[in-house]
Amino acid sequence: MFGSAGRTKVCFFLFLLFFMEAGAAGPQESSARTCGAREVASPASAGTVFSFVPGEVLVTFRNGETDGKVRDLVEFSGAESTKIFEGLSRETGKTFALFASRNMTTEDLLSAFSRDPAVESVSPNFLRKTLSVVPNDPYFKEQWGLSNPGVEGGASGADIDAPGGWVTRTSCLPSKVVAVIDGGIQRDHEDLAPNLWSGPGGIIGFDFVRDDSDPDDEHGHGTHVAGIIGAVGNNGRGTTGVAWEVRLMILKTGDKEGVHTMDRLLEAYSWILDRKREGVDIAVVNTSMGGAEFIQAERDALSAFAARGILVVAAAGNDGSDNDSSPVYPASYSLPNIISVTATDRSDNLAWFSNYGSSVHVAAPGEDILSTWLPGAPAGAGDSQEQSALYTSGYAGMSGTSAAAPFVTGVAALACSQFPGESMNQVRGRILQGVDVLESLRGKIASGGRVNLHRTLDPSAPEREPNSTAGGCSAGGSLSMAALLAAPLLLAVFGK
C-alpha cells in the first residue's frame, strides 16, 4: 500500500565534475568491503573505521527545491539515479535526495555538490550498524531485567520494577503505536503476532531492504528488540514484554548482516511522518542501531519527529567509551525528543561494553537479556540440550545497548498510555525523573539512574535503595491478584 520514495532516472552533470578538483571534500575509499559498502578511516577519529555505500551521496537542498530544479542541478553529471525522500521533504520544507553513480567516486560527488549554493549539506550514504552482541551461550533462563530476585550473581531489585509498574498498567491504549526501526520481525512468532500493528490491507509496516510490505527478519535482532518492548504478556507462552499489549509497527532497514544504510533509514523516517500525518498515533520510535557520523538529514528527520510529538529511544553504543567525546548517532543528537540509553548488568553496574557520558540520559538492563528470536534457528556449538531447545523454539539471550533501549521504549509506551493528555516533553520528563539513582551511574550519565517502570507510572512510588527488594505485586490497581501473580510466574516457569 505504501511504497518507498520514488526513483527517478536522470543524467548527471558530467562536465561539472571534469572541471572540479577531486578528493577535496570526502573520505578516502579503500578496497575493504562490508555488505557491499566500503570501509573508511575517519581523519577526525584516530583510526576509527566507518562505512558508507561507494558512489552514493545524500544531499539536502535549501528551500525545498522542486523535482525539476533538482534534475536541472544535476543535469549533465555522472549519476545514473536519484531518490527523493518525499515525506521528509514535505515535512521540513527542504528537499532530501540520494544520488548514485557507478562511474564517479564518492569524493567526486561530495566535491561537486558541496560547491553548489543550493545545497545545504552533502554526505556519503553512511551505514548504521546494529548495536548488539550475538546471542550468547549459555542462555540465562529468566527475564531479570523485569524482576531481579538476585540469583546467578545478581543483585535483588536491579531491574525496572515491572511487577510494581504493572499494578498501575500492563498494556497500551489501542490507539498508541510503537515504531521499531530495526531488522524486521518474525511476524508469525507466537509471542509477537497478536501485538503487531495492522494498517490498510493488513500491512504491519514496510521492508526498505526489499522494497515491499513484508518486513521479515533475516537476522534475529529486530525480533529480539520487539519482544523486549511488547511480547504478549500473561498468555502462558515464552516471555513477556514491558507492555503486555501494544501495537508494534515494523520498519525494516537492516539487512541479514545487521547493516542499515542511511538512505533506508531516511525512507523509514519519511514513512513514519507520512503515517503520523495520516492520523496514526505513533508515540515512540525505537532505534537500536548507531554510527559515529553526524548526518544533518537524519537530525532534521528526528527533529521533525519532535515537532509531531514523537519520542525517539536510541541505543547509546557498545564501545565502552564516552559519547561526549566520541558521539554515537542517532543517540547523540541534541534534540528534546531523544532518550539515549546505556546498559546495566544484573548487579546494577554499568555493563562492561556500555557507552556513557552526560549526553547519555538513562540506563536499563542490557546484559544477557532473554527475548523472542527466530523460531527454528540453529543452536550454537556447545549449547546444552535445554539451551538448544530454548533457541530452536524462538527465544534467545542477547547483550548490548540494543537490548537496553527497548526496555525504555516499553516504559515510554505505557507512560504515553497512562498519561495520554501529556506532551512528549512531560512523558520524557517522567521517565528521566523516575529513575532509581545508583552510585554506579553517578557522574556517568545525565540522570545517574536506571529506568523504573513503577516510579514512571506512579510518581508517588518510593525510590528503591540499591539491592532492595521493594516493589513487586499488590492487590491494588486495576488488575486482579491472579493476573499480577501470573507475570512473575511466567519468569519462573518459562525462563528456566
Which of the residues are catalytic?
Answer: 182, 221, 402
CA atoms within 13 A on the CB side of 310: 28
540469583: which residue's cell?
151
Query: What is the spatial distance between Cα 413 and Cα 411, in angstroms, rounded to a whole number?
Result: 5
Cα 445 from chain centroid (whole Å) = 19
Place of cell 508494534: 248
Quote the cell numbers at residue 181.
526501526
Strand partners for 127? 261
Nearest to 285 by CA among 183, 182, 187, 423: 182
Contacts of residue 478, Cβ cutoff 8 Å, sequence gap at least 6: 168, 169
Contact 164, 236 (CB under 8 A): no
Residue with cell 554510527: 291
Length of the chain: 496
Instruction: Extract the runs of DSSP E, i.e. beta strands, from 62-208.
Output: 81-84, 95-100, 119-130, 177-182, 205-207
How far apart are the two ends of the chain, measured CA to CA in Å?
Answer: 42
Closest CA to 188 of 321, 376, 7: 376
Pairing of strands 289-290, 259-261: unpaired
